[in-house]
Amino acid sequence: MKKESPDDLRGYNPRYVPDLRGHISQCEWNYHSLMKLMPALDSEDLRTFLLERADKLMHIDMRVSERCKYTTTLSVSQSLDAGEDSGGVAWLDGPNMTVRLYHDAAMAEVISFQQQRHIPPRNTYPNPRMHHRDEKAQLNHFLGDWVKHCLHHGQVAAHVP
């Protein structure tokens, strides 16, 4: 009988099972944290947080793109301050995502990242876009990390109407 080598298992694709309890917990944490960052969500369309990174100033913009009875959609983006010496990073776009807040369920979930919509909860691997099996869970976790960083280190920028 022939013993299987790692090369024989190259096409092996065990089924990924999403952690539903962890997903719900992360989405609830994201919602409550975003509500702390944007306490006037019903009336405020834009909130910008400033974060210092070395000698650069980073802007994180949270803009309301849609308000409905039970949901609010936010566009969240990050950019570096384009000063005189941008350090050669002006061409590099910062991360941006669209987040939907479900007020009746008190949950917030990433619905698009870098202009890519319809992120499935699980992916086969390998796949044409080379997404991880748990890409959606990782994006929601990234949102949580981003919001946590804003809560601990961000300063709200004053907007001129």
* 36-87: pLDDT as tens digits: 999 999 999 999 989 887 777 888 899 999 999 999 999 999 887 765 555 5
Looking at residue 7, its pLDDT comes to 46
Dist. CA 83–CA 77, nearest whole Å: 18
pTM above 0.75, yes or no: yes
Res 11 pLDDT > 70: no
At 111-127, the pLDDT tens digits run: 988 877 777 666 666 76
For residue 98, give every residue at least 6 positions away whose Cβ sits within 8 Å of its Cβ, in sequence order, or none. 65, 73, 74, 75, 76, 110, 111, 112, 113, 117
Q: For the chain, give every domain's residue range.
A: 19-82+92-156
Task: Determine whether 2 is exposed, middle or buried from the number of CB atoms within 10 Å of its CB (0-12, 13-18, 19+).
Answer: exposed
